[in-house]
Structure 1
Amino acid sequence: MGTKHYQSSDSFLYTLLQSHAARLGAIFQQPQAYRLQIIYTSIDRDAHNRPYFTDYYYRVDTGEYFYPASTVKLAAAALALEKLNDLRIAGLDRHTPMYTSNLEGISPAVMSDSSAADYQPSVGQYIKKILLTSDNDAFNRLYEFIGQQAFNTQLWEQGYTDVQILHRVGVTRITPEQNRHTNAVTFRKDGQVVYEQASAISNLAFSPRHDLIGKAWYNPRNELVNSPMDASQKNRLPLVDLHNILRSIIFPEAVTKSQRFRLKEEDYRFLHHCMSAQPEESTFPRYNTTEFHHNYVKFLLFGGVQRNRPTADVRSFNKPGWAYGFLTDAAYIADFTHHVEFMLSATVYVNNDGILNDRHYQFEETGKPFLRALGEIIYEYELLRTRKYTPDLSKFRFDYTKIE
């Protein structure tokens, strides 16, 4: 697993950020301590509305590990839809009820879903919950449907060879070996079995790693271990790969065929709709908007702040993640009022005491305000940037009164 450094062809991004150093605060002043990495992509269109990209990097290094947390769920959503397409079975789609069998001592069965209109679990319902509120169980069910082996090999075949998806998220006391095991899954429609998938074991060999984070950590028995936590058995998704996975989902026509997920136009529309929606715009699931408020999963530009609502019609098509003090967001941001669009991804580590699993992270007071400021700086620049052709963003407009 080789380390790759991504340097900008010029100093534009650093110069832009440096001009707002006071606004960006301690994180930009001490980027190494905060493990800061940023990718900004400006987008220009030609006369036929075809997008062209210019990528700018700041401290992007695949050798500097960060825990990707829930950002891995974006790839899971695409891979689950891709698998449904690849199976090519009549009656099997994202709406088909999907039942997960019990895997003793590892993962329980799922036979119903009270968040769905018909109380039936399905790939589509899991994807909605992942993209609207970053639901952990929904990801785990897609992980089990895809299988650990296919999850990784499919991404490797697309060129993301540094990715390692090793485990379910949000669950403890499951060993790396147990995470190789995935549950049996059955799809039924109108009482008839449409597709059955047996339980599976991944035999995939992963490249060895030596990723350490923190200076101490609490183990599952709540005992303090006074040494860095070994993250070599944790999921790995470098920021540049996350950024490019996002690009392939937002702009499938603009990436090579080998990088493209095997999705239908309706699949992309569904993903774009769910990625840009807010929790209060969903009926199934219906969310308690006190907890899952406006901007709950919108960090870049919006800062995860409920009351942060720009006067312009701006949407973030994104997937964030937060855990172990790492805060990450990857977003395509579209302003339909001013006809502005750009991509921005960033990760930052906000854990002042260096202790993991103590829940003393600075997401709210340090991490989210930084991502908000970063997004605002890029957005403000984009509002002033001259474009030869005004982008037609109509394909990204949705009726948010209904999410199918």
Structure 2
Amino acid sequence: MKHFLLFICGVLLISCAQEKQNLNFLEVALSSNDPKIKRVMDSINSYEVQIIYTQINRRNDSISFTDYEFQVNDSSYFYPASTVKFPVAVLALEKLNLTDTLSLNTKYYIEGDTIESTIANDISKIFAVSDNLANNRLMEFLGFEAINQNLKEKGISPVRLSHRVGYRSDDLRTKPLIIYLNDSTTGITQSLLNKTPERLKLLNVEKGIGYYEGDELIEEAFDFSQKNYYPITTQHNLLKRVLFPQMFKEVERFNISEKQREHLLKAMHTTPQHIGYDPATYYDGYCKFFMYGDTKKNIPESIEIYNKVGFAYGTLTDCAYIKDTKNNIDFLLTATILVNKDGIFNDDAYEYDEIGIPFLAQLGREIYQQELNRK
């Protein structure tokens, strides 16, 4: 009887351990009593939160994903802001392989501009500090219609990029690139005329109770229907394909060389100070919202965060692959949150630092801690 009871106790302990191990980490994170999480969850209808967390499982040489979602809805619009720079960077690398006169380090500038750059530098700036001009140069190189078509052909949808970022521009024609072929000659790319974007027919595409145009307050909802559309399922899908191309069919992969992919991955996790930016202004967490967005401390060398953030019109989004090389864990996390308490857009009165970034930072830490304890 004694041995039988010990056996039963052992079975129960194993069952409890397995049950604990199989908990949905995202549910556990969102039920945290930490005030950075709780104040959002207690008023969840105010924040338009959407989250995808992917647990990565490895056995021998095989990899599998388990996705967990919270309030994910591709039909519910949020403004993606600078997250659109991620597909732009990847597609620019792919187009290099079709352009004989350009390489990663070929110097060029946009017609009518004086700033010289290279594709390599532009991609580094896009991920380190979310540089708008660097992104817009690559948009001129690609054209909106080509961006959308190429993504859809790879099964990365829904998506619609329709405008440059950082300033208002209704110009549908891209500007030519002036390329330095050598010390004495230059080449010019063609200008492309893009179609007028159709209005998005989505939920919540009109937001708030008012917005500013210059100094004038317009007391009606702000219309996002002709702006960029890049939901978190599409962002998460793109991140998987870049980080784990072997998990996808060849026609679904990006046609970039190993050298190009290495440059992309390095740019995605390199912090601003390591490419020459002042760390006082551009601290490590400046474009790394998960885990470190609410602190100005340096990110440990053992933590690598491959990501792209976006922040504009009160919306904060981060799409990240987080890897701890010391403890041998990794996971994918994408989330968006709207923090605009007064419902007015273009007034620069958004609760980024008070609510949005602390929520995303703590969400990352909650998931990370559970991954750390996972067997």
- Judge same fold: TM > 0.5, yes or no: yes
Partner SS, residue 65 of structure 1: coil
Structure 1 residue 265 corresponds to structure 2 residue 258:
yes
Partner of 1:137: 133
Q: Which residue of the other structure, out of 213, 217, 237, is the alignment partner of 2:207? A: 213
CA displacement 1:79-101 (0-9 Å, x = unmatched): 100001123x1x52110112211
Paired with 1:195 and 1:71, the residues of 2 have a C-alpha distance of: 31
Aligned residues: 351
1:258–1:28 Cα change, 3 Å? farther
Secondary structure of 1:20 counterpart: coil
1:385 aligns with 2:374: yes
How far apart, CA to CA, are the structure 2 residues paired with 1:205 and 1:136? 21
Normalising by structure 1, what TM-score?
A: 0.82
Match of 1:298 among 288, 295, 319: 288
Does 1:45 pair with 2:39?
no
Measure, in 2, the Cα distance between the counterparts of 1:198 and 1:73: 22
2:41 paired with 1:28? yes
Q: Which residue of 2 aligns with 1:169?
A: 165
1:26-82 deviation line (CA, Å, top 9, x unaligned)? 21222221000110001112212x422111111000111110000000001001000
Aligned partner of 2:42: which letter? Q
Structure 2 runs not aligned, ≥5 long: 1-21
Q: CA deviation at 1:367?
A: 0.7
What secondary structure does 1:343 align onto? strand
Q: Is the 8 A contact 1:92 1:195 kept in 2?
A: no
Q: Distance in 2 between matches of 1:235 and 1:32?
A: 23
Within a 5 Å distance, the mapping from 1:114-153 to structure 2 comes to 121-153=117-149
Matched, 1:99 2:109: yes
**Mapped pair 1:203 → 2:195:** yes
Displacement of 1:148 = 1.2
- Tell me which residue corresponds to 1:399: none
- The 5-angstrom pairing of residues 4-403 of structure 1 reads 12-13=24-25, 15-23=27-35, 24-48=37-61, 50-87=62-99, 89=100, 92-102=102-112, 109-110=113-114, 112-113=115-116, 121-172=117-168, 174-175=169-170, 178=171, 180-191=172-183, 193=185, 195-203=187-195, 206=198, 208-209=200-201, 211-219=205-213, 221-282=214-275, 286-307=276-297, 309=299, 313-386=302-375
CA shift for structure 1 position 11: 8.1
Provide the alpha-carbon RMSD of the alignment: 1.9
For 2:28 and 2:81, the matched residues in 1 are separated by 29
Determine helix, strand or coil for the equivalent of 2:65. strand
- Aligned to 1:296, the other structure's residue is in SS state helix
Percent identity reads: 35
Q: SS where residue 130 of structure 1 aligns?
A: helix
Higher CA-based Rg: 2
**2:288 counterpart SS class:** coil
